[in-house]
Structure 1
Amino acid sequence: MFNLTYEFKLKPTKNQVAVFEDWLEQNRRVYNYALAERKDWFKSRSCQINACSLRSEYIIPADTPRPTYNQQAIQLTAYRKTSQNLQRVHSQVLQQTLKRLEKAFVSMWEQEHGFPRFKKLGRMRSFVFPQLGKDPIQGTAVKLPMIGLVRFNQSRPIPEGATIKQARVVKRASGWYVMLTLEWDLDVPQPMPHGEAIGIDVGISHFAAVSNGKLFPNPRPFKHLERKLKLLQHRVTRKKLGSNNRKKAQAKVSRLHERIANIRKNYHSRLAHHLCDEAGMIFAESLNLKALAKGMLGKHCLDAGWGQFLQILEQCCFKRGVFFRKTDANKTSQTCPNCLTETGKKLLSERVHKCHHCGYTTDRDVAAAQVVCIRGLAAVGYTVKMLSEGKFTGIPVTEESPLL
């Protein structure tokens, strides 16, 4: 199976907007109620058996099982029969909200994410239709269960032969959007190593340095608009709580945040396509993004958005038949790409790589990108030969030409 997600902007009527808002609120209440039930169960078992909690906790019998998705889905079905508010919402949409909560707990256990938090008013911004009827796209409108036809701006055609599996309605500061998940019944082979290889080193002074010597600037969208954002947020604090003026000021803040995210994502997408035009193999560092975000330069790391860029680059390489792989990032900035000896650079202020062993001199970030390229070629079974202009050529490993 091969899946792609297409995003379109909706053009709902006032009545449809009211329905969307009501559904988001009902899903928020279901999410918070299910989370409270799970949280109470965990708190009832947080203190020792011979001690009492300093705070008041619900006393839940010891034989009560831990709340799960299946159990809460059964309770939701029974409660929905007696609640007129929940009857206005599609049953599968409410079940997807419970699945969303279950996924949050799985991420907490397996990926060490934080404990799920309650969503205050306005924080629930999307709901999902896991199934759509036959022929959901009718002209320039999409047919949603229990809502009907909703017009949308079809910015690009939907490919033939694709099956629309689900639809996600998303609320943003600029309007309402629908994300359609398309599925094809075919297996797409993974790209194989071929063509010219390049390595990428991401940074702050330059967003990306390529092993062929190219340097791409860092757009810094948040830093450039930070002053304006601070001014708008200060205006929000001066408005009366619950007033319409405060809501208008908050909307301006949300639109500016969305503008920053759009600038960053557009730059990442354009750069990813540009890199795919130049190579058949792309290698990047496997970074610990969570640790970098908590460091001294965490604000600048988050502004650069390296995680989003690497994800977009990997998807772009897959769609365009370019081989992509991540390599070890350990000591890439302290290794000479020409002789593979450690140079011992310690300070970030040292922006020029000059090897004391072989005399090779180049930009520090470009040297790190060249080391990434060498490690990537070696990982896929290629011998590595560095050319005089900083480019690399790879030869498949044989008995006559072993790895470096």
Structure 2
Amino acid sequence: MRGTRERVSYLLLSVTGGVIFQVAYIRFVFLEPTYRALHLTAQEYGTVMSVFGAVAAVMYFAGGWFASRFPPRALIVIALLGTGAADLYLTTVPGYGGVLAAHIGMAVAGMALYWPALVRVIGSLGQARQQGRLFGFLEAIRGVTSTAIGAIGALLVSNALAPEAGVLRLIGVYGVLCVLLAVLVWFVLGDRERDTPAATGTLSFAVLAAAVRNKYTWLLGGSIMLMYCFYTTLGYFSPLLEHRFGLGLGLIGIIGVVRTYVFQFLAGPVGGFCVDKLTGSTPKFLRLTFAGAVVCVALFLILPERAQLWWAALALMFVLSAMVFTSRGVYWASITEARIPEQQRAGVIGLASGLAYLPDAFLPALSAWWIGDPSTNTAPHGGYGALFGALTVAGLLGLLLITLTVRAQRRESAPELAPAPVA
């Protein structure tokens, strides 16, 4: 970064990343209080989140088109204003249809407008050799921002006369912050579209067809998708700890902040260090995280649901969070390590991204159907046993795919390591 303005812009943009997605993913910290605050059932809220995930998956493809045709500052500001408006609209408790519409709007704003524009601007703030640090610290600052505001939110919810009122107040705070950040971005970022390089590598039919034929699209996209299954269901551990192991709601909020946000900015750099210094390969490291995640959910399957064992459940959840977030910080580095041809890379990333985040389109609704209403101590469709069983299968499949990836890369690198023939 060349000067003070670039540094301030970088910090401001990183902070927006810690705010804009918080209401869309508030279930990771406050699952039950949120759907009660919005006057929804657990199943209705799960369906809303699945629709949000499905729209978001489609918007990842559309994002490249927007980013290549419109100024990034305008896209970021519009996305922040739109998300802020949706957040504030939710505080009116608009009913199922209104909540669904607000989340669709957040998916369009966040994934089609905001994220690709953010990546363009962040990339333009430094030279090629600085990209790793730029995006690494982007994730760290997002995590610090989310942790600080999430901690305040936990206090709001725990100190409110009713948790539902506290959640609505917190959603309103996020909405106001989005609007304020939009104004700051407009004036601080300046006219960066003049020196922000245009996006390249549009997703033509030929590029997509080549990506479909590339084995790494399915090996890497599939393995990331299976690890993302663990990530997208972490929010459902809160009612488990509360209703099955007897932890209080205030403590649940703090645990949710630590599990979701603290691990975000701590575990990502740790994962990068492990890849660089220990395994020397992202897929090899992911194989270890999949093995650790499988052990955790398998132990949850056999752990008796007794209040005296709350410490064991909490420890398993934190170890699982470490596996999820250390892998989350590095798994896209597998694309570079796979040596995918440059002309195919955009297509592979696009298809793999749509595949990777697909669990958001069905797992929230499915998890809600399995678990039912934990507060009534009923689980008509298998409960947490079904959830942990499914995650165990997902982890084993992920272990298989990532092992196949390691073997494929080993075969492709073997000719380079073979000694040259003697003349």
Give yes or no for TM over 0.5: no
TM-score tier after normalising by the smaller chain length: under 0.3
TM-score, reference length from structure 2: 0.27
TM-score (norm 1): 0.28
Q: Which has the higher strand share?
A: 1
Query: Comparing both structures, which one devotes a greater share of its residues to helix?
Result: 2
| Structure with max Cα Rg | 1
